[in-house]
Structure 1
Amino acid sequence: MQPSGTSPTGTATEIVLPLPTPQTVADWLAELPLAHPERCLDALLALLRALNAKPDLSGPARLVLADTIRPRAAQLAGQIDTHSLDAALPYPPELAQRIETTSQLRRELGNLYAYACPASRSANSLWLGDADPSLVALYRAFQHWGLALLDTARLYREPDPAFWPDLYRAYRLAEAQGAASARFGDPGEPPACRTPLGQFKRILLFAMADYGRYRQRDMRLIYRMLGEWADHAAWEARPVIGEQLARFRLDLDSEHGPYRIRDDWMPAPSCRFLFIGRLIERLLDKSPEQRAKLATLGLNGHRLPTLLAKSLFGPAQRRSERLPLHQPCQLFIGFQELVAALDPRPTHTKPRLKPVNAGRADWLKAASRLELLPMEHEVAEHPRQDERALRADAVIERLLLDSSGCPRDEIWGAAAADRTGADPGTAGELLNTDPHGYCVLLCDGGDPKLQAGSLVGIAEAPHPPHISVIRWLAQRETGLRFGVELLSPSAESVALWDELGHPQGKGLLLPPIAAVRAEPEILLPPTGFHAGVLLRLSGKTTHAGFHLGRLQEATASFSRFKLIPAPLELAL
């Protein structure tokens, strides 16, 4: 046994590493303190780095050691993945470090597999070992590098500079050995990704999917979708097939990822091209067979495949230049915080919701998983005591009364009656703007809980907040920045009442704006409302009845509906 000094994450923990033999490594893995995943991740990362730094290890020995480590690494990484699926940004430092360590762990495990391949002809090659070609090692290398990229995406960062050269070098080796299309019987992967080329294409497509626009859970679903249909993307050494032009280009001799083909590109022998026409058609397919397939992948409906198709096809051409600003602003993030900023008066108590035709067992089952409520709901005037177990973020503002009749804020100890002092919000800086939105830099301080698709108010003193929605996030050296699309320069906070006179909380009324919307729209909580419902709105300037029209947008933060004026006899 040999000590390695401090842990890879910089803590003062000394890690004792095993000798590089399969049996000693297996015994060492069995003794890891699984109750402390951080220590286990540190230890595994230190072991992998030590093994990758040994030039005297043979290729077969590396392959056996990698296969020995892989199950334990997958177990620990899976635990971290579960905790980060719905986390808001900025991450707590501990969670950010865990995700970063997991990404490095998968990257180093992929390197260990890659180093088990035969040496290349270059004296400066990263590929070590003297074994015969091992196709499974290349396959596993691509597999773990793809997962490392998925972890990097969860951090909303770009991969490190060495990622793409290593990936291209491995593909060149697979191509030179005629192993790129070799198929493996891996039940853990879809058929389209059971080849090194399939794994390679999934990595490229995911990198071009503009993953900063998605929540972490959606990223995983996108990665799964791209793996399922990677064979629908054609991979060629020429930019044109018949009359079809390739969408993406990459240079295997470069240090950069793939990029969209533009008019000023120059061909080179090391260039390869991706054609995604068939893949786009498959993503936009709305047949019953496609719906059934999406259900097996864990998707409910066509929203995410449609968004993915738009991301891959490319962003719309910018219609105006961005103007630099560098002005301070205040941010009100999330539906409830924005409502409170526009109208700090206490909200009306509203009845609890229950799923339509759902029995006690179904409700408790959903509560135990802390899942979002289904989209269809009806109003219940007498909430059940046992339903208080549900604390999912999307419905937490709808938990109002228990059997004692006390308001929720009194039960939880909040001073609901004293909300006259408006929340100052979170500090930010407007970096640049165009007529459609802003690029915002988050300043230090507070706990803003940013997520793609979240509603956010942007206030420049002394003006009221502009209403916008977060469209992308990116972690840079200067901090966390995000792009927002403006929905309206202003909004009116309105109290909501159903047709029976029961209060339904508050919403944000968006006024008509020329060239944007001809009719008013309303922002509501993400669950509990659907098209056709009659609501009476009461605000500072609005007192009218409306039917909810077409659902314009739905995220985990809000729902946006068109409003249809109700007949006078119904509105009163």
Structure 2
Amino acid sequence: MINPYRSLSANLPERLPAGRDALPADAKRLHAWVDALPRANQQAYLLQLSGALDAFHARQLEGFTRLEVMEVLRTPLLEAITLLTSRLQGSSFPLAGSKAETAAQLIHLHRQLALGYRMALVEACAPAGKVPFLRGSTVAVALVRAVYHHVRWLATSYFLYRSPEPDVWAQLYALAAFASARGLDDKAVEDASERRSLTVALLQNQAVLMALANPYRFSQRELVELWSLCRDVAATVEMTPQRFAAAGVLAMIDTDLPPTFVSRAPDPDEGDMLWIDLRKLEALVRGTLSRSGEGGEAVLRLSRDYRLTVPTSLLERALEGWSQDVTRASPRLEGGYALDTIVGLSGLHYQLAGGQDFDSFMREVRGVSAVSLNRASWAQASADAVHATLASARIQDQSLGGYRLRWEAAQGVRARIGELVGLGLPAEGGPYDWMVGLVRWLRYDEGGMEAGVDLVSRRAHAVGLRSLDEAGGSEAPIRAIGLAPLSGEASGPELFLLPAVNDVDAPRLEVTRSSDRWDGPGAKGSNVYACGALRTLRRTGDYLLAEADRA
């Protein structure tokens, strides 16, 4: 491998002697300065902490002194990071306004924390990269902290659905290689923020597992759970220079690239590599899933004294990413063309209803006003009549199961994992034929947003659902999308996509739906019929995919 110490020493900021008004580098005095900061104004408090971190990066310090400074600043900065992260939880992307500023602050703090600990390590082991006599434990602290914050930096990029910034993976590999060469890769360091001891090797394994799980397909809430899952199963993973299978996962540690699946070994001239053995992990996860039952949660038995409970759906999707024999359900076909899209259930319902808001749709089809009934407050606004805007998406590639598409930034599209997307082209001389999909993964940059959309139906209807009780009473109708099965089977249960916030728990439903050109020449202009109770098939983001038997 390229000399890891040389790699770690590259591109460090210029450092100058401390000025007259510089902050104290003595740990005790710096603690006092931090404690004296006014916390009532969180933004001002954060700016002063961040400014102090940046100032120390530009200042000449001895390595172990810099480590003490970083340890003092780390705890309040991690508290600030937790606050910033909570402000972004549940966001739609791309971010705008104050949320975009918050995201930039969040990335900056992780970047600067990673840099600060790397600088402390380089300076402590200067000039040749040797660990000073009797200082191995202290150097291990700098190493583990540096690796931890590089992994958190990566995880924050996933949380924001951004590609990792340049040099993150390269520095992570260099830190791990340096630790291995100095015999410090398995040296445990206590970390109060994670409430456990961490090692360089386990942290590198955690980063690898998160990358291989395809983090861009998880919601922000799920990414928090994925962090814990990957951290706790990291000990089951081994990274070795020895190839153990014809195909597998490897990390090209002389590059700035994440680990990847390969069908053949790369040329040795491409640099050093580590093969990633996931066989123990796969066996553990498959065994856990086989015992999970139907409760929605799986319990990983990680030791005699420790069990980790995770949602079964999250564990299944993580395993899809970790499986070395993963294959696509359908072959991919080249795209290169555009489709019109609409994001969100309200907008798609408006289009499927022929440009009518929900109240007008229910009055015309059923003769019942949705507004006149006691509807939920979120559904009462005049926003029902908002004319949904179509956005053009460029199809990158496709399969029978869905599309990989890109919206340019000028389209102004905002979405999140699990969001509903309508995709369509105008029918000849008529309205759109809308397909319905759900966002499986997304990633964005300044130029636009790319998403993977799983198809759930190639034909859809505007639908109103009304709960009916045993006594014949009814609730207010709710907006939903009626779906035709992808299989094309017409004799099965009725399929619906509806907001997850609606509690539709009734023995019977009245379904009101519009007809379309596929219903045939003898079809009525509308259909009103009864169904049995809804059965939830899948919850994704803000929506429920459910079925009901037609009465």
- TM norm structure 2: 0.77
Asked if structure 2 preserves the Cα contact closer than 8 Å seen for 1:467 and 1:486, the reply is: yes
Which position in structure 2 is the counterpart of 1:540? 514
1:450 and 2:451 matched: no
Cα offset, 1:230, TM superposition:
0.8
* CA distance in structure 2 between the partners assigned to 1:82 and 1:52 by the alignment: 27
SS state at 1:116 partner:
helix
Whole-Å Cα distance in 2 between the matches of residues 349 and 32 of structure 1?
58
Query: What is residue 440 of structure 1 aligned with on the other side?
Result: 405
Alignment partner for residue 460 of structure 2, among 465, 468, 491? 491
How do 1:110-189 residues align onto structure 2 when only pairs under 5 Å count? 110-117=114-121, 132-133=135-136, 134-186=139-191, 188-189=193-194
Q: Secondary structure at the match of 1:80?
A: helix
C-alpha spacing 1:211/1:546, structure 2 compared with 1 (3 Å):
same
Alpha-carbon offset, residue 224 of structure 1: 0.8
- Give the distance between the partners of 2:164 and 2:339, measured in 1 at CA: 30
For residues 247 and 264 of structure 2, what CA distance do their matches in structure 1 show?
A: 12
Name the residue aligned to 1:367.
none
Aligned to 1:238: 242
1:224 paired to 2:236: no
Match of 1:93 among 79, 93, 97: 97
CA shift in 2, pair 1:43/1:442, >3 Å: farther
Aligned to 1:265: 266
Match of 1:415 among 365, 377, 382: 382
Q: Give me the whole-angstrom Cα distance separating, in 2, the residues matched to 1:501 and 1:310.
A: 46
Corresponding residue number in structure 1 for 2:338: 327
Within 5 A, what are the aligned runs for 1:558-569? 558-566=543-551
Q: CA RMSD in A?
A: 3.7
Secondary structure of the structure 1 residue equivalent to 2:71:
helix
Label 1:340 to 1:106 Cα distance change in 2 as closer, same or farther (>3 A): same
Contact 1:472 / 1:482 at 8 angstroms: preserved in 2?
yes
Cα distance in 2 for partners of 1:483, 1:292 equals 30
Q: What is aligned with 1:380?
A: none
Do residues 338 (structure 1) and 348 (structure 2) align?
Answer: yes
Write the mapping of 1:64-103 to structure 2, written as runs, cut at 5 A. 64-103=68-107
CA separation of 1:43/1:335 partners in 2, compared to 1, >3 Å: closer, same or farther?
A: same
* Separation of aligned partners in 2, 1:348 and 1:299: 47
1:502 aligned partner, one-letter code = S
SS at structure 2 position matched to 1:249: strand
Residue 25 of structure 1 corresponds to 30
2:367 alignment partner in structure 1: none
Q: Matched residue pairs, number? A: 488
Aligned to 2:478: 505
Cα distance change on mapping 1:440 and 1:554 into 2, 3 Å = same
User: In the TM superposition, what whole-angstrom CA distance separates every residue of 1:546-569 from its partner, at most 9, and x where no partner exists?
Assistant: 335754321132111234333xxx
- The secondary structure found in structure 2 opposite 1:225 is helix
Which runs of structure 2 are paired with 1:263-412 in the superposition (5 Å)? 263-266=264-267, 270-284=272-286, 285-286=288-289, 287=291, 291=298, 301-313=311-323, 316-317=327-328, 319-327=330-338, 329-331=340-342, 333-343=343-353, 344-347=356-359
2:7 matched residue in structure 1: none
Separation in 2, partners of 1:337, 1:238: 54
TM-score (norm 1): 0.75
- Per the alignment, do residues 428 and 181 of structure 1 end up closer, same or farther by CA in structure 2, a change over 3 Å counting? same
Q: Is the 8 A contact 1:323 1:433 kept in 2?
A: yes
Of 103, 108, 111 in structure 1, the residue corresponding to residue 112 of structure 2 is 108
Shift, 1:118, TM fit? 5.4
Q: How far did 1:544 drift? A: 3.0
Give the distance between the partners of 2:511 and 2:547, measured in 1 at CA.
Answer: 14
Q: Is the 8 A contact 1:459 1:465 kept in 2?
A: yes
SS at structure 2 position matched to 1:539: strand
Deviations 1:269-310 (A, max 9, x none): 83212111222333341447984569x999663111111111
- 2: CA distance, partners of 1:540 / 1:426: 21
Given that residues 58 and 130 in structure 1 are in contact (C-alpha distance below 8 angstroms), is that contact kept between their aligned partners in structure 2?
no
Query: Could you tell me which of 203, 206, 219 is aligned with 1:202?
Result: 206
Deviation of the 1:453 alpha carbon: 0.8
CA contact (8 A) 2:243 2:275 kept: yes
Task: Return the offset for 1:168.
Answer: 1.3
Cα distance in 1 for residues equivalent to 2:126 and 2:257 = 21
Distance 1:407 1:226 in 2: 43
Contact 1:117 1:128 in 2 (8 A): no
- 2:14 corresponds to: none
Return the offset for 1:347: 4.2
CA distance in 2, matches of 1:187, 1:116: 20
Specify the alignment match of 2:18 in structure 1. none
- Contact 2:438 2:455 (C-alpha < 8 Å) held by counterparts: yes
1:415 maps to a residue whose letter is S
Which amino acid counterpart does residue 336 of structure 1 have in structure 2? S
* Unmatched 5+ stretches in structure 2: 1-20, 363-369, 516-526
Does structure 1 residue 63 correspond to structure 2 residue 37? no
Does residue 253 of the first structure (1) align with residue 254 of the second (2)?
Answer: yes
Cα shift at 1:235:
2.4
Q: 1:474 maps to which residue?
A: 443
- Say which is worse superposed, 478-487 or 162-171, in terms of deviation: 478-487
SS of the equivalent of 1:117 reads helix
Aligned-partner SS, 2:189: coil
Alignment check: 8 A CA contact 1:508 1:523 kept: yes
Whether the 8 Å contact between 1:115 and 1:128 is mirrored in structure 2 is no
CA distance in 1, matches of 2:360, 2:310: 33
Q: Could you give the per-residue CA deviations for residues 348-369 of structure 1, whole angstroms, max 9, x where no partner exists?
A: 999xxxxxxxxxxxxxxxxxxx
Unpaired stretches in structure 1, ≥5 consecutive residues = 1-15, 351-397, 567-572
Q: How far off is 1:181 after superposition? A: 1.0
**Kindly tell me: are residues 122 and 251 of structure 1, through their superposed partners in 2, closer, same or farther at Cα, counting changes over 3 Å?**
farther
| Partner amino acid, structure 1, of 2:358 | P
- 1:68 Cα shift? 0.5
